[in-house]
Amino acid sequence: MKIQLSTFEDVPAIIAIINDAKEYLASQKIDQWQNGYPNTEQVANDIKNNESYVVINDENEVIATAMFTTKPEPTYKIIDGNWNIDENEKYGVVHRMAIKKEFREFGLATFMFHEFHIHLLEKNVKSLKIDTHEKNLGMQALIKKLGYTYCGIIYTNYHAKRVAFEKVIS
């Protein structure tokens, strides 16, 4: 199993995983990702910006995906709360993380977070930030287990309320 930058050839597999995640969220009565986002255009943009990652298993199958960057997230400038690290410090961001449904219980999200933490340590970046829907208790439980702390509420560029977390990487 390895994590790598996505290619345009990965887009159909990534979209299939995201669509499965959309169905799963809807089945949990969570309206996250129910408005046409994320979509093929967003994934292609992430790939173009070298911010889209996939996890590949030993059969060379795409089994998970995430967007990861160290570019500032505009929606994180305003938070009803406080980030752990000063706003002007460089930080990492994770968005659009999804696991292929057949592989959801294999610890792939933890694996991806671990790989992103290593990447940040190598670049001397002090924290990783993430936001999720307030009803997405599964993601919240995972990130809390990984040492993330609740920092407050942010609003997406389409005005959706999200709970925001950050982990100081040391």
Are 56 and 128 contacting, i.e. CB atoms less than 8 angstroms apart? no
pLDDT tens-place string over residues 114-136: 999 999 999 999 999 999 999 99
Q: Who contacts 89 (Cβ-Cβ below 8 Å, separation ≥6)?
A: 126, 127
Neighbours of 62 (CB within 10 A): 20
Q: Who contacts 34 (Cβ-Cβ below 8 Å, separation ≥6)?
A: 22, 25, 26
| pLDDT at residue 51 in the model | 98
Domain 2-168 class, CATH top level: alpha beta
| pLDDT at residue 68 in the model | 98
d(C-alpha 98, C-alpha 63), whole Å: 9
Domain ranges of the chain: 2-168
Q: With a cut of 70, which residues of the chain have pLDDT below it?
A: none
pLDDT tens-place string over residues 78-101: 999 999 998 789 999 999 999 999
Are 162 and 154 contacting, i.e. CB atoms less than 8 angstroms apart? yes
| pLDDT at residue 79 in the model | 96
Q: Has this prediction a pTM greater than 0.75?
A: yes
